[in-house]
Chain A
Amino acid sequence: MTYRILFEVRGRARFLSHLETVDTLLSALRRGGYQIALSRGMRPRPVISLAIPRAVGVESEAELADVELVAEPEPEDVLAALHAQLPDGLIARRVEHSHGKPASSRLRGVDYAVDVADDVDWDEAIARYHQAEEAVVTRTAPQKADKRVDVKRFCMSVEHQPGRLLLELALTGEGTARPEEVVHAVAATIGATPTITRLVRTRIALAEPTGVTT
């Protein structure tokens, strides 16, 4: 039986990598007494997928994991086990039966709340950002060539609240934008350099409303 787990990543747990998060979830489920189903083939692996990798350092209110268990426990029992077994900073919020495709293959978008210093005139910057035809940033990565990305193609909305920007980003076949790229692109419209103090993923939007949505 496959279960969809909605969980939060808070505080120091944000420094866990994607793989560490997966392993920590699996080990918590095993401590809770559940056997994880294994894939077929020469090298069987636990059947688990997180909807979308989370960058190290980013907190989340809305992570989604699909995991297949050998038995068919009640979702509330799985939730209780996760409450008891997950380490500091990983907090299970909901568990439901999951049917059909995993969340990772039905992604539509991801929302973020970005805490920023208010030494930038964000309302003016956002207005100019909306007026611009494009907002190009240079994406750098180790051992890869720099890449120019027009973040406007992927950013559905930007909203300013005191000390915070709320972003709605689309996940498309052509890629997506990173939240810090959008914030820098917005600030750049008025020649400012932003100070980001915290990044929180607030929602993962799926293409079809089945199972848990956030």
Chain B
Amino acid sequence: MTSLLEQRIENVLETVQKPSRYIGGEANQVKKRQATSLVALCYPDAYEVGISNQALQILYAQVNRRERFAAERVYCPWPDMADAMRRERVPLFTLESWRPVREADLLGITLQAELTYSNVLEVLDLAGIPLRAEERGEHDPIVVAGGPSASNPEPLAPFFDAIFMGESEEAFEQVLDAIDSETGRAARLRRLSEIPYLYMPARGRHEVERAIYAEFGIETQPTRVVVPYSSAIFARASVEVMRGCTRGCRFCHAGTWYRPVRERPADQVIKAGLEQLGCTGYDELSLTSLATSDYTDVLPAIEGVKRERPDLHLSLPSNRVDTGPVALMAAANSRQSSITLAPEAATQRMRDIICKTITDEMIEGAIEAAFTAGYTSLKLYFMIGLPRETHEEVQGIVDLGIRAREIGQQVKGRRSRFSVHVSASNFVPKPHTPFQWEGMSSRDQLVAKQGYMRRAMPTRQIRLSLHDVRTSMLEGALARGGCETADVVEQAWRSGARFDAWTEMFQEQAWHDAFAAAGTTMDAEATREFGEWDDLPWDHVRSGVSKEFLLDEWWQSQAEVATGDCRWDGCADCGACFGPVRNKLVR
């Protein structure tokens, strides 16, 4: 029988764009009518962005393994839906059972990017949950954040009862135990406060550890993943072949946050991949990691999958720029016509500063290998605004784009059809990285550099795309914010900010006004430089990598010296390894 709420939801769905975002019912969704505890898992962005998130897929399977628990999904309703829900008094609901999110015992929200912060408040408000944890009552769910952006919990701290640090597979069991064994909000919060991986903002600023899953690669990863309706941005099967990366790129948050490196053996990758393909019906499999060409079992994994499914699209994202990885990618997917290489910086000096240990010869060799392998579209990814960047570095990107075109013409002939796509994003310093002390380039500098690239880059066979400076500045201002930033986020949301990562939705003025109301500016926060002895807003979060190591790496960057990878060049004593937690390579 259709409940009154269901009827109202259906009425609302008749009026919105893409109603399939809200209906649930996809293949492999889990619906548990006998469960006594509801855990709502939220990705605070549109369905098509959130549905493919691997971390939430892991958590969804993990919670549903418990008999008494049901995990149900929630995404941030698109503004047309949100407005209709408010108009018709429809509270935010889960996809599986269309139950109000407010009825959940626990609402888990993943923070994958700073530009989703305003959506966190949108989700809480639509659910009818008081924004500030201190205002919540006995019947409100316990609201827990997680995900990589939670590594600096302060900008959103007042909105969460608890903030989980690190990898969920093992440590989140303790959170579920607390919910399962205690009744009542106060008792549950008391029990949660004993977990070392949970930051409890109500207790004040206290130390919290990052949970690291030492057993990664031993267990099998979930294979019966929810199959989204066709609108998902990543509609393909995926197996995480390796977690962590020790290349040591100094701008990279994931390079610190997921240390050490742990690999999954090829036989498990093959088994999990084939199972997932069978359970989902996808015709593409992605072997994911932070740098799949570094995975020591990559060849046996590719060969094993190809042996069983010769026609499969097999993608290897995030690869090192070199001839070997290009050949690997070409072998894995002969039908693919485009390839992405990420030199990040175009001059050797800047690559030494950021610790990207590749040479001009490797880059040119990779470009030549790509065109020789038959790719007709080459995408080169760079960053601008990196620390100590000069005009030479920006010119270097233009020159490398032109050089790539020349190589393409040499390999394929001048009249052949191919294209080079140069993409440059704006560097944003992130917490827990060697560049955490650096300020962003100013807005004017970034705009000027982008303007120069637009003028200097030839347009024939080269396409240039540049990231929106406005949203980059906001990302920079939020990423390293302190507890005072929470008021800014709330004020901006109250002024209409939501879906900030979507250019057409970005309400820049709402953010400027919110920063001004807090007595500062977005640009001042984004370009702020910290002193090496400053107490950083996220210093109470123990990532495992020591501050001394990060500081030493920062100094090395100033000396323009790259550091080796501890997998092959000896331990750099970053602090991430202890006891059973250490680099675990298959070979």
Contacts and interface: CB of A to CB of B under 8 A. Distances in A.
Q: Is the A/B pair a real complex?
A: yes
Interface string B6-17: 000010011000
Interface string A1-39: 000000000001101110110111011111101000000
Given A31-B280, A57-B19, A12 B230 contact: no
B220 to A, nearest CB: 19
B282 A15 contact: no
Contact of B229 (A16, A28, A29, A57): A16
A23 B229 contact: yes
A56 interface: yes
A87 B26 contact: yes
Given A23-B229, A27-B280, A30-B283, A87 B20 contact: no
B23 interface: yes
A89 interface: yes
Given A15-B20, A29-B281, A87 B14 contact: no
Interface string B105-123: 0000000000000000000
Given A23-B229, A26-B281, A31-B278, A16 B27 contact: no
B20 A20 contact: yes
B112 to A, nearest CB: 25
A147 to B, nearest CB: 22
A20 B26 CA distance: 11
Size range of the chain B interface in the assembly: 20 to 34
A13 B23 contact: yes
Nearest to B29: A87
A85 B20 contact: no
Contacts of A87: 25-27, 29, 227
Contacts of B227: 27, 31, 87
Contacts of A13: 23, 25
Contact of B282 (A22, A27, A89): A27
Q: Report which residue of A12, A17, A28, A33 has the largest number of chain B beta carbons within 10 angstroms of its beta carbon.
A: A12
B27 A12 contact: no
Contacts of A119: none
Contacts, number: 62
Contacts of B558: none
A121 interface: no
B281 A12 contact: no
A31 B278 CA distance: 5
Contacts of A133: none
A146 interface: no
A88 interface: yes
Interface string B227-245: 1011100010000000000
Contacts of B24: 12
Contacts of A12: 10, 23-25
A30 B282 contact: yes
Contacts of B14: 57
A15 B19 contact: yes
A175 B14 CA distance: 25
A28 B358 CA distance: 44
Nearest to B17: A56
A20 B281 contact: no
Contact of A15 (B13, B280, B283): B13
A86 B27 CA distance: 7
A56 B278 CA distance: 29
Nearest to A35: B311
Nearest to A36: B283
B279 interface: yes
Given A15-B13, A16-B229, A20-B229, A27 B27 contact: yes
A28 B27 contact: yes
A92 to B, nearest CB: 14
A170 B26 CA distance: 34
A57 B281 CA distance: 26
B23 A31 contact: no
A29 B24 CA distance: 20
A30 B230 CA distance: 14
A207 B468 CA distance: 54
Interface in B245-301: 278-283
Contacts of A89: 25
A20 B230 contact: yes
Given A16-B229, A19-B230, A20-B231, A27 B20 contact: no
A15 B281 contact: no
Interface string A170-213: 00000000000000000000000000000000000000000000
A86 B22 CA distance: 18
B25 A31 contact: no
- Which residue, B229, B235, B282, has most C-beta atoms of chain A within 10 A? B229
A191 B390 CA distance: 73
Contacts of A20: 20, 229-231
A185 to B, nearest CB: 21
Contacts of A17: 18, 20
Nearest to B229: A20
Given A12-B25, A31-B280, A33-B278, 11 more contacts: A12-B10, A12-B23, A15-B19, A15-B20, A16-B23, A24-B229, A27-B281, A29-B281, A31-B278, A57-B19, A87-B27
Give 8 closest A-B pairs by Cβ, nearest first: A30-B281, A23-B230, A27-B281, A88-B25, A15-B19, A31-B281, A12-B23, A20-B229
Interface of B: 10, 13-14, 18-20, 22-27, 29, 227, 229-231, 235, 278-283
13 contacts: A12-B25, A15-B13, A20-B230, A22-B230, A23-B229, A23-B230, A27-B227, A30-B281, A31-B27, A56-B20, A57-B13, A87-B27, A89-B25
